[in-house]
Structure 1
Amino acid sequence: MKISQNLYVRVPLAIALVAVLVALLSSTLSYYIGLQEKKDTNYLLVKQLAQTMAKTATISAYLNDGELGQEIISGLFSNDLVQGARLDGEGEMSISSDGLNEQQDGIVIPLIHPFIDDAVVGTLTVYPDDKYIEQQAQTSLKKEVALILIQSIIIAFFVSLVVHRWLTRPIQKLTDSFATINPSVPKTMRMLLVKQGEKNEIGKLTQGINSLMHELHLTISNERALREKTQELESKFRLIFEQASAGICLLNEKNIITTFNPAFLQYLSVAGQTDLASLHFPTLLNDVDKLEKLLLSIRADKNRPQVTLDIECRIGNKTLWLHCLFAKLTEQRSNERSGDQGNLVEVIIHDVTERAEREFQTRFEADHDPLTHLLNRRSGDKKLDNALLYCLENQQNLVLMMIDLDKFKPVNDTYGHEAGDKVLIATAKRLKAHFNLATDLCIRWGGDEFIVARQLMNVDQELILEQANNIIAEIEQSIYISKDTQCHIGASIGIVVAPKDGKVLDELLVKADDMMYQVKASGRGQVAFYQKL
């Protein structure tokens, strides 16, 4: 039989069981101790009875009165505690009860002479009834044991009632009330009932639980409100993240993209692709080394939380300009994130191709001649100055040619300015064909004057002269100003070489200009190097 696990059942049962066990143990111990005591008491009573009859027995023995002796023996035998008795006197006097078993131990009382203290006239022997004595003792003790057991059970019953009334029932009610509470349902977190004025331990425990539940209720309510607010914000931010027109991604410490939004995928993937070509961010934007150095510096520099950069990249057959904002993410909470989360970098990109093209066009128009698309005088002067400075710092030479067109004014006068513009455009193309290196400069200096410049490690004057003559020959080729009309022009060139001929740009320009006018004065269509006088 399985015992209930409820405390209000187990506690009374435990009390009753303990009471019964204690009663049994104490009764058993009391039985064996009391049995011997009962025997000793009964033996003492038999002895006292024998001593009481000793004086009469002494007279019977002294007088040798058998009739008196028989009455004494019969009187003793009539007692339930006595199995038998025997009276021995002087001479042959010996009186005993019927069926006497003399083998068992008896109580022997010496009969003292009535007149002589040291003389013995006989003996009175009384034999206790051991079986009767033991039965009497057992019967008496069994009743006592039964009374102890009944008393223990009654005490256990009332103690159980008291314990149930003052302990297990309040605990049961407290447990039943507590079982109705569901932390996930705040409405069920009501206060537990406490009897008014009850100040015992259960009342204090209930009050403590109520205080704890009150705080827990507030905590759960606040946590739920915070969670709902967080979920709402997360939903909004997720919506912003997914529907943002800007591309957004996160990079780990190895510059691998860990997450990105649809706009980011749209910017950096070919139409029709459902995934990025690579998750290594610098690879997507082509300029791998530059980007890796930039990202490394962002992570290392604590004073530079974000950096912006315009990057040109090619996606499929398209060339895009992307404005990228790099922001280092730092942990806002006091506890540290595990791993390398602190090395995350957020990247936000915008397609600024149209703006970049407009800016490029604006810069181009500001720096270039609108007719020939060569550098204009303002930007050309600045680039010449930079090129000269570079050559001086790196032990290189700057070859500068001042070119003026011959017979250009008659073209304007004869065919008009539109024809003159065509001549200037054709001349610019022919100059660009000869000076097409990355460091070469072709400038429309003004009107029909042009400047070209090239950086050289070593100067070979014959080679430069050959190139200048080739330019003149190229310029002298026929130029069609209409379908059926063509014209011919020429060119005069003055050449200076820095730093041999000067280290200041204005000085070099003046010298080149002087040489070019000397050529014009001497017949045009020639080349002249500056020479110190």
Structure 2
Amino acid sequence: MHPERQRKIRELFDDYIEMYAARDDRLTARFSQSFTGYSGSGSRLIREREEWVRITRQDFAQVPGRIRIEMLDLALQDLCNDVVVATACFHIHLPSGVHQLAKEVARLVLTFRLEDAEWLIAHCSYSIPYQSVQDGEIYPLQSLQEQNSALQALVAERTQALQESQALYRLLTEDAQDVLWRTDGQLVLTYISPADEKLRGFRADEVVGHSVFEMFTEEGVEVIKSMLRLRAMEDAAGGTERFLRFQVEHRCKDGRLIWGEVLSKPDRNAQGEIIGYHGITREITERKRLEEQVHQLAFHDPLTHLANRRLMLDHLEQAMSASKRSQRHGALLFLDLDNFKPLNDTYGHGVGDLLLIEVAERLKACVREADTVARFGGDEFVVLLSELSTQPREAAEQAVAIAEKVRTRLAEPYVLQSAPSAPSIRHECTASIGVAVFRGRDESQNAVIDRADAAMYRAKEEGRNRIQCAPGPAAAG
């Protein structure tokens, strides 16, 4: 038994003995509503809590002074997570000077059950091997034969209760939508509830005996391994045992992938070594889809699906921090379409939207996957370039080369068609581009954007469909 668990059971038992010896009426509040007991002076099991409270108070009234318990032996048993048993042998010394009882070995069996986060006494049984006394007395017991009969009845009752508890557990696990599972120390599944078959399509016999890694995608396996490393670090630091919560994709028998939120906790032996894990998995596929929708709406332009201003500013912040560490330059390209308004005025916003969508696709095709393309609103777009040269002149040349690629591609004619049956519209639309190169945090985000914006306006003033480079931060100031 784990030392911490043993300490807890001993603490529950010692509290009971102290209150009983002190004749403390607060003891009556420790009895479970589903209590059973054997008082020692009766001939039957007590099945009503209130009757046991009455017997206890009768006991305290019969011997009002503090009694002394001389403990002889004590055994602690951990039946399951929420049921523990303490069995003790002792002598009872009454304050009245009656020594006959003190010569006998009394036995006490206490069963504690965890109910709503509180440990309560679910069963109490006394036995003392001497003859019964007159009615109304508490301590004397029935004959040994009656005593054994009562204990046999108790065993039968507790066995039935255990069977009923097991049946209830099976019922709960079979009907639950969440998956309950357990593994050994090598992460081989030793149990999985029927909910997994409903969720992923695998029967229990197809899963038990196999590694948990078979349940997940490659990315999911890496998540599990990172959680194991986190658990090891917490153990090394002496952290408090807790459930780890993480989200991971699961494989289904029909090839689908679903998301599950996993709560996991280790099982330990008496030496505190991890011998396995247990936990609960809940499907969150729909929740993940909704979260992705919310993220998309919050950080992307709904028309072009490009990053919006908010996401671009976040990426610019990251790019400036990375630039400060690496000393590589970055660049911001600010674009404004030159011939967009006439299209909108002539054919309406629906056709204008088609042009913006096509511009977005062309922009994405011109830059690297690591770069960010954003729509700032209207017909304004921004491209964020990172990991350019450490040399200012070379970085500017690299940025201008990409800007020229963008300008050339956007200047190609557009053929727009609002519906399959609608006539196609040919339109030419160029872009004026301002380029601002930056490094580290020599200036603020707004300053970089302002420089690129000002350079774009100079490009427009000088005839449109051209590129203008912004002066550096010092010159701009």
Same fold? TM cut 0.5: yes
Paired with 2:151 and 2:329, the residues of 1 have a C-alpha distance of: 80
Which of 279, 291, 295 is the matching residue for 2:228?
A: 295
Is the Cα contact below 8 Å between 2:327 and 2:440 reproduced in 1? no
Match of 1:228 in 2: 160
Describe how 1:97-496 pairs up with structure 2 within 5 A: 211-269=143-201, 275-276=206-207, 279-286=210-217, 287-298=220-231, 300=235, 302-315=239-252, 317-329=255-267, 336=270, 343-437=275-369, 439-458=370-389, 459-482=394-417, 483-496=423-436
Which of 497, 501, 519 is the matching residue for 2:459?
A: 519
| Structure with the bigger percentage of strand | 2
RMSD: 2.9
Is the Cα contact below 8 Å between 1:322 and 1:353 reproduced in 2? yes
Is the Cα contact below 8 Å between 1:501 and 1:530 reproduced in 2? no
Relative to structure 1, the CA distance from residue 290 to residue 278 in structure 2 (aligned partners, 3 Å threshold; closer, same or farther) is: farther
Relative to structure 1, the CA distance from residue 450 to residue 218 in structure 2 (aligned partners, 3 Å threshold; closer, same or farther) is: same
Q: CA deviation at 1:326?
A: 1.4
Q: CA deviation at 1:480?
A: 2.2
Paired residue type of 1:292: K
Paired with 2:215 and 2:155, the residues of 1 have a C-alpha distance of: 43
Is the Cα contact below 8 Å between 2:223 and 2:248 reproduced in 1? no
Q: Deviations over 1:259-281 (max 9, x none)?
A: 111222443456x9961398221
Paired with 1:324 and 1:308, the residues of 2 have a C-alpha distance of: 6
Paired with 1:451 and 1:313, the residues of 2 have a C-alpha distance of: 38
Paired with 2:148 and 2:453, the residues of 1 have a C-alpha distance of: 93
Is the Cα contact below 8 Å between 1:397 and 1:456 reproduced in 2? yes
Relative contact order, higher structure (CA 8 A, sep 6+): 2
Paired with 2:406 and 2:170, the residues of 1 have a C-alpha distance of: 64
SS at match of 1:404: strand
Q: Deviations over 1:80-101 (max 9, x none)?
A: xxxxxxxxxxxxxxxxxxxxxx
Instruction: Report the TM-score when normalising by structure 1.
Output: 0.55
Paired residue type of 2:410: I
Relative to structure 1, the CA distance from residue 503 to residue 212 in structure 2 (aligned partners, 3 Å threshold; closer, same or farther) is: farther
SS at match of 2:206: coil
Paired residue type of 1:430: R
Is the Cα contact below 8 Å between 1:268 and 1:276 reproduced in 2? no
SS at match of 1:344: strand
Paired with 1:485 and 1:520, the residues of 2 have a C-alpha distance of: 25
| Structure with the bigger percentage of helix | 1
Q: Unaligned regions of 5+ residues in structure 1, if any? A: 1-193, 195-208
Paired residue type of 2:242: P
Point out the structure with max Rg over C-alpha.
1
Q: CA deviation at 1:527?
A: 1.4
Q: CA deviation at 1:520?
A: 0.8
Paired residue type of 1:321: W
Paired with 1:500 and 1:210, the residues of 2 have a C-alpha distance of: 89
SS at match of 1:456: coil
Paired residue type of 2:262: C
Q: CA deviation at 1:395?
A: 3.0
Relative to structure 1, the CA distance from residue 449 to residue 215 in structure 2 (aligned partners, 3 Å threshold; closer, same or farther) is: same
Is the Cα contact below 8 Å between 1:399 and 1:497 reproduced in 2? yes
Aligned length: 319
SS at match of 2:162: helix
Paired with 1:427 and 1:221, the residues of 2 have a C-alpha distance of: 84
Relative to structure 1, the CA distance from residue 250 to residue 216 in structure 2 (aligned partners, 3 Å threshold; closer, same or farther) is: same
SS at match of 1:412: helix
Q: CA deviation at 1:486?
A: 1.4
Is the Cα contact below 8 Å between 2:263 and 2:281 reproduced in 1? yes
Paired residue type of 1:327: K
Match of 1:530 in 2: 470
Q: CA deviation at 1:511?
A: 0.7
Paired with 2:283 and 2:432, the residues of 1 have a C-alpha distance of: 48
Paired with 1:516 and 1:277, the residues of 2 have a C-alpha distance of: 64
Paired with 2:209 and 2:407, the residues of 1 have a C-alpha distance of: 53
Paired with 1:278 and 1:321, the residues of 2 have a C-alpha distance of: 23
Q: CA deviation at 1:229?
A: 0.8
Q: Deviations over 1:481-519 (max 9, x none)?
A: 323311110101111222179442111111111111111
Q: CA deviation at 1:374?
A: 0.8
Relative to structure 1, the CA distance from residue 289 to residue 379 in structure 2 (aligned partners, 3 Å threshold; closer, same or farther) is: closer
Paired with 1:317 and 1:436, the residues of 2 have a C-alpha distance of: 32
Q: Deviations over 1:433-459 (max 9, x none)?
A: 12351x321111121111111221525
Instruction: Report the TM-score when normalising by structure 2.
Output: 0.61
